[in-house]
């Protein structure tokens, strides 16, 4: 089925291209709300980070979706109203929330029934918040981009998501932004502003190289540009540098579109399957199933990985 859909997309690139604008387009998504990689989990600092990030998104008119891990809403086992308000601020600023599970387990590791229970536990607060603003909870993002190792698990989980009104949010531009974010927050926590500045300055060229890689892979696979979906995180790095990231993307000819609009492209009719390499983007998986060998991702500068430390490499 995947190969038939792929052949259809490859044979008719002109048809899909005719439906898309000439400029490049990208949907921006954020994982691990209400926060990830911050110098302090003090609620006042979390509010400051969230406010700055949302202001960037509003200034650049980005129709973002934020994916929530509800375990982060609790302190000492008690639901923290201030952290719930961080999520509410996303909705009231015009953005949408999705489910990223309660505790961020891996579908490649956890039993299916336990994983599904974690998904349901992860919607209790978010669904109520969305409904209070007249919105529905409809997007799901797999932690670590782990989709399940067997066809039976993937099919059963897809049926579970459909039964609960969820659509999977894919990723075509996966990246190591989270490594930069861990390094950045650690430099800030240690008061090393020079290191934080260098890490922030290295972040944008890295992301540009990652977008260039994804653009070329889409061209090799489909013979055309596709609407991309990029995963970022709600962190201090993006609270301070999303404006520069948006400027870089605009300079490359991108405009920002909703996740709904991106998924209307025919490329997303294909299922990603299992490539044997965990955590790959949908684009990389599609390419491997078509017999293409994706280029390696750009390297994270050594000084950034040193600041991040080995503990950061559990993945996001």
pLDDT digits (tens, 9 = 90+) for 224-259: 999 999 999 999 999 999 999 999 999 999 999 999
- Return the pLDDT at 315: 53
* Residues facing 256 on adjacent strands: 26
**Cα angle 292-248-287, degrees, rounded to a multiple of 5:** 10
Distance CA 63, CA 12 (A): 29
Per-residue HEC secondary structure of 157-206 comes to HHHHHHHCCCEECCCCECCCHHHHHHHHHHHHHCCCHHHHHHHHHHHHHH
- Per-residue pLDDT tens for 155-170? 999 999 999 999 999 9
Distance CA 264, CA 253 (A): 20
Q: Strand 139-140 to strand 74-75: parallel, antiparallel, or no bridges (unpaired)?
A: unpaired
Extract the tokens encoding 50. 């969230």
Give yes or no for a cis peptide into 158 (omega within 30° of 0).
no
* Domain spanning 2-11+25-307, CATH architecture: Alpha-Beta Barrel (3.20)
Q: Average of pLDDT values for 115-136?
A: 97
* Site of tokens 């349901």: 120
Q: Could you tell me the pLDDT band of residue 14, with boundaries at 50, 70 and 90?
A: very low
- Return the pLDDT at 276: 80
| pTM for this predicted structure | 0.92
When comparing pLDDT for 205 and 313, which is higher?
Answer: 205
pLDDT greater than 90 at residue 3? no
Q: Could you tell me the pLDDT band of residue 312, with boundaries at 50, 70 and 90?
A: low
Q: Could you tell me the pLDDT band of residue 11, with boundaries at 50, 70 and 90?
A: very low
Question: CB atoms < 10 A from the CB of 22, how many?
Answer: 7
Q: Could you tell me the pLDDT band of residue 27, with boundaries at 50, 70 and 90?
A: very high
The helix/strand/coil state of 3 is: helix
Is-contact 32 234, C-beta < 8 A?
A: yes
- Return the pLDDT at 313: 61
Extract the tokens encoding 236. 């201090």
* Site of tokens 């609620």: 43
Domain parsing of the chain, residue ranges: 2-11+25-307
Extract the tokens encoding 102. 């309660």
When comparing pLDDT for 316 and 124, which is higher?
Answer: 124
């Amino acid at each position: 089925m995947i190969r038939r859909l792929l052949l259809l997309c490859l044979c008719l690139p002109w048809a899909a291209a005719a439906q898309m604008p000439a400029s490049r387009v990208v949907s921006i998504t954020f994982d691990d709300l209400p926060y990830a990689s911050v110098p302090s989990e003090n609620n006042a600092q979390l509010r400051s980070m969230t406010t700055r990030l949302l202001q960037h998104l509003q200034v650049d008119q980005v129709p973002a979706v934020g994916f929530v891990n509800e375990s982060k809403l609790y302190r000492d086992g008690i639901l923290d109203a201030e952290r719930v308000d961080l999520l509410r601020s996303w909705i009231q600023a015009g953005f949408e929330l999705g489910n990223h599970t309660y505790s961020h387990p891996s579908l490649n590791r956890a039993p299916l029934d336990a994983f599904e229970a974690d998904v349901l536990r992860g919607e209790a607060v978010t669904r109520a918040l969305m409904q209070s603003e007249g919105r529905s909870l409809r997007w799901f993002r797999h932690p670590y981009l782990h989709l399940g190792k067997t066809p039976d698990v993937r099919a059963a989980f897809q049926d579970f998501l459909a039964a609960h009104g969820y659509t999977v949010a894919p990723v075509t531009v996966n990246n190591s932004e989270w490594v930069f974010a861990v390094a950045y927050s650690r430099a800030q926590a240690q008061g090393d502003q020079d290191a934080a500045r260098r890490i922030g300055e290295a972040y944008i060229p890295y992301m540009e190289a990652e977008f260039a890689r994804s653009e070329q892979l889409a061209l090799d696979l489909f013979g055309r540009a596709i609407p991309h979906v990029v995963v970022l995180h709600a962190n201090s790095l993006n609270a301070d540098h999303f404006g520069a990231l948006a400027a870089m993307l605009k300079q490359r000819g991108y405009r920002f579109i909703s996740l709904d609009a991106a998924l209307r492209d025919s490329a997303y009719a294909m299922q990603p399957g299992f490539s044997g390499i965990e955590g790959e983007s949908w684009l990389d998986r599609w390419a491997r199933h078509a017999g293409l060998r994706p280029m390696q991702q750009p390297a994270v500068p050594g000084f950034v990985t040193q600041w991040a430390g080995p503990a950061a490499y559990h993945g996001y």
